[in-house]
Amino acid sequence: MMMTTVLSWIWIGSGLLLILFVLLHSPKGDGMGGLAASGSSTFTSSSSAEATLNRITWTTLAVFLTLAIILSAGWLK
């Protein structure tokens, strides 16, 4: 019972973090803003930051999905 409660709170927290990390990603396309801007500068540190953010996002997704499976399967009863 206590373990299920703790894992449920971790699952909720990882879901909220996952939403935050996905929203932090830079858009891949320029969209409508690309029509007005003639050129954008890209920095090498931004690609490193993006790679790190990708790694954190995928790890958070793995934690979220693993806990979702464990909690929904009822293995902790």
Backbone angles phi, psi at 9, to 5 degrees: -65, -40
Q: What is the pLDDT along the chain (77 residues), one digit of tens a residue?
A: 899 999 999 999 999 999 999 999 888 766 555 555 555 555 567 788 889 999 999 999 999 999 999 999 988 87
Angle between helices 2-24 and 44-73 (to 10 degrees): 150
Q: Within 10 Å of residue 64's Cβ, how many Cβ atoms? A: 19
pTM of the predicted model as reported, rounded to 2 decimal places: 0.75
d(CA 15, CA 9): 10
pLDDT at 71: 95
Which residues, 6 or more positions from 46, have their beta carbon under 8 angstroms from its beta carbon? 26
